[in-house]
Amino acid sequence: MIITIDGTPGSGKNSIGEKLEKVLGYKFYSMGDLMRHMATRKGITLVDLNRQRDKGPTIDKDVDDYQRELGKEEDNFVITGRTSYHFIPHALKVFLKADYNVAASRIWPDLQKNERNEGNFHTEKDLENGLKKRNEGDRKRYLKYYKLDVNDSANYDFALNTSNLDKKQVYDLVLEFVKKAGKVRVR
């Protein structure tokens, strides 16, 4: 089984994906991490890379082709991204979202420890505004390139607002859905 976890920044996609990886014994792929590594290799921030993405589909196409090929060549993995559900249509599709202020409060501590290459934000409020801009830019870009509304929960098998939930609650709800949806073995 392939499980895609799509959603808004700071909604818990990677945290939940990493936990599912361990419990199910699946591989885990993060398109957000892939984009951060791309930015770091180019010597820029994720914000700068997203500005480049706004100028044309080349970067998105590379990431999307990568996802499409994974879906054809592999099985039993969890992948997080904004368009994973679309490029791996036979997957079990999960959507997580979080209010921007909550997302910023979740990401801010990692930024302070330099654990994420998000951009140069001076306050949590700056980060919140940056996340909102990023999400709106992603949505516009995917509507333009693919006619996809990545924020439309109707595109997914399971949608959850994580704003008022802790990681364990989100994980428990997602795992419960995954167990019901497919025959998976939990380690």
Lowest mean pLDDT among 92-96, 134-138, 159-163: 134-138
Specify if 13 maps to a domain: yes
pLDDT digits (tens, 9 = 90+) for 138-173: 899 889 989 999 999 999 999 999 999 999 999 999
Q: Residue 138's pLDDT is what? A: 85
Average pLDDT, the chain: 87
Distance CA 161, CA 178 (A): 17
* Domain membership of residue 169 as a residue range: 2-181
Specify if 112 maps to a domain: yes
Query: How many domains in the chain?
Result: 1
Most confident of 45-49, 58-62, 108-112: 108-112
Q: Residue 155's pLDDT is what? A: 93
Distance CA 22, CA 156 (A): 23
Element of type H or E holding 144: helix 124-146
Specify if 68 maps to a domain: yes
Q: Residue 45's pLDDT is what? A: 80
Specify if 65 maps to a domain: yes
Q: Which carries the bigger pLDDT value, residue 78 or residue 137?
A: 78
Secondary-structure percent of the chain, ordered helix, strand, coil, rounded to 5? 60, 15, 30
100 has pLDDT over 90: yes
Count of beta carbons in the 10 Å neighbourhood of residue 41:
9
Specify if 186 maps to a domain: no
pLDDT digits (tens, 9 = 90+) for 33-58: 777 777 787 788 877 877 777 777 77
Count of beta carbons in the 10 Å neighbourhood of residue 14:
16
Specify if 187 maps to a domain: no
The CATH number linked to 52 is 3.40.50.300
Count of beta carbons in the 10 Å neighbourhood of residue 48:
15
Cβ 133 vs Cβ 50: under 8 Å: no
Inter-axis angle of helices 46-55 and 124-146, nearest 10: 30
pTM for the whole structure:
0.84
